[in-house]
Amino acid sequence: MFVDSHCHLDRLSEHTHQGDVAATLEAARTANVSQFLAISVTLDDMPGLAAIARDHHDVVISAGLHPLHTPAIEPSVTDIQEAAEQYGAVAIGETGLDYHYRESVPVDVQHERFKRHLLAARELELPVIVHTREAKEETLALLREYSDPKVGGVLHCFTEDMEMAREAVRLGFYISLSGIITFNNAAPLRELARLLPLDRLLIETDSPYLAPVPYRGKPNEPAWVVEVAECIARVRDISVDEVAMQTTANFYQLFKAAVPDAPEHVK
């Protein structure tokens, strides 16, 4: 069984099973994907995400504000905590720093927002889902200062270097790989997938974005997380079953409130 540790089920393309969440999830289950973490991009997404999770026992959700979105009012630490608790989030995020589009949201705003998410996660003892792009040193500095190594989190859709990955692992974080590792120009990322400890890796689609080979150019969907696992298996020269089992175990080790039989007070 596989887990899609990062997907945007409330943002499906109309070309993905006509935008039907139930049909999209059923296609993924047919491909042996057994668990989905649906990611919040704004806190306004939370009611819709919670409705999806109520309708589908294998969907869990996060609570957060993406670094490149601009809300009418910046959420406080309390706002983030209350949203997570009200809607039963198993993680905080996605949050982080994106300097590739720093013109969209100023760096100082991104920093303060990221810090508030890290503080909310620390208070709730929930893992953090981190978006990081071209902001290596600043991302690591904020994680060192504000994250809880006992709870940790994940650097999702990772595209940075081995040095950053190793430091993140040292800080208690996992590294999540997406369909990008199947791209022709992603040899350094495949080498990273080969060298990092398998017990610190997660797999994801980030659907509907970043469809893997051989589906590039199409809207991505959770069923295709299997392509990510197969690529990791090839570069490590191990079976895809081993990748599936270990990354699934890693997911539940990190997102403890997502464990199907977790007690209600944990969820």
Please check if 56 is assigned to a binding site: no
Dist CA 128 CA 138 (whole Å):
16
Please check if 131 is assigned to a binding site: yes
Please check if 206 is assigned to a binding site: yes
| Bond preceding residue 214 cis, omega within 30 of 0 | yes
Please check if 8 is assigned to a binding site: yes
Please check if 66 is assigned to a binding site: no
* 173-177: strand order across its sheet: 2-7, 33-38, 59-63, 91-98, 128-133, 153-155, 173-177, 201-203
Which residues belong to the annotated binding site for a divalent metal cation? 6, 8, 94, 131, 156, 206
Which residues belong to the annotated binding site? 6, 8, 94, 131, 156, 206
